[in-house]
Amino acid sequence: MIGIEKLFAVAGQAVVVTGGASGIGLGYAEALAANGARVTLLDMDAGRIAAEVARLVAAGYDVRGASVDVTDRAALDRAIDDAAGAYGRLDTIFANAGINSGVGYLGGWVGAERPRITEGALENYDDARWDRIIDISLNAVFATLRAAARHMRPQRSGRMIVTTSAAAIRCEPAIGMAYMAAKAGAAHLVRNVALELAADGITVNAIAPGMFATNIGGGALRQAEVQAAVARGIPAHRVGTPADMYGLALFLASPASSYVTGQQIVIDGGFSLGQAD
């Protein structure tokens, strides 16, 4: 008989979550911390880290935090080294920090009026916007996995989990193109790193969320009217919440997934399948 306590065990694990002070990253952190993992939240929002660490510690969880911009590679290396140093190891890392895609070339949403957006058109696309999104959602993922590998390869074990997006799979005209390119790039980076590290006992996978109500983009998806409009285009007729991530986070960090690597698991209420009704 296989008990779920052992199969999904994460107690005692040393875990780092980038972008861990909010939304999906905070969901990952809570799922693992509630099951006995020791979790470090890395985020550029120092105020939110302080508030979330205080809340989770008060709930009895072993959680710490540090402020870092994941695009500052030296600072990111130091923060990951510090966390691994504090625990004496690094078992699981979530490369999750991310920002809003900004506008795409169409406005509105599936099933509604879809005006052309001048700013989102290819010939008008802004360099600074392209660079910033590629920096956070692709370059920083590389830097995060590299820093983690320096700890995981010598210990010959580890879990790397990257938050990509359903936009890595399905093009959506309302989403800025840099975001889709960065997320698709991160998904393929995951496959490549998984291949290289498979013999070292390290698994590398991606979680590709659909539409989740978080603080991204000023928290637009947390507003009831926006949620209702978006939910019409989702086969499950609702947006996701960070709590929807608990199961996948535990699966990918625990022994239950030890033979799963290089995969991108979509969690989107059917959004990437197409329009249901």
* Interaction site with ligand NAD (CB under 6 A): 19, 21-25, 43-45, 48, 69-71, 96-99, 136, 163, 165, 209, 211-212, 214-216, 221
Q: Which of the following is catalytic: 28, 87, 105, 179?
A: 179
Six-digit token pair at 80? 């990951």
Six-digit token pair at 66? 């540090």
Helical (H) or strand (E) element with 187: helix 177-197
Shortest Cβ 113–ligand NAD spacing (Å): 22
Shortest Cβ 45–ligand NAD spacing (Å): 4
Reference 56, options 64, 67, 66; nearest CA is 64
Nearer to ligand NAD, 136 or 161 (CB): 136
The single residue listed with the structure tokens 């009217």 is 225
112-120 long-range contacts (CB < 8 A, ≥24 apart) are 112/229, 114/173, 114/174, 120/176, 120/177
3-class DSSP state of 92: strand
d(CA 71, CA 57): 28
Shortest Cβ 154–ligand NAD spacing (Å): 26
Nearer to ligand NAD, 23 or 269 (CB): 23
Nearer to ligand NAD, 46 or 59 (CB): 46
Of how many residues is the chain composed? 277
Q: In what order do the strands lie in the sheet with 202-209?
A: 62-67, 38-43, 14-18, 92-95, 158-163, 202-209, 264-267
Nearer to ligand NAD, 95 or 194 (CB): 95
The DSSP symbol for 1 reads -
d(CA 104, CA 121): 7
Active site residue 87: no
Shortest Cβ 20–ligand NAD spacing (Å): 7
Nearer to ligand NAD, 9 or 16 (CB): 16
3-class DSSP state of 79: helix
Q: At what angle do helices 46-58 and 23-33 cross, to 10 degrees?
A: 30
Shortest Cβ 152–ligand NAD spacing (Å): 21
Catalytic residues, by residue number, are 179
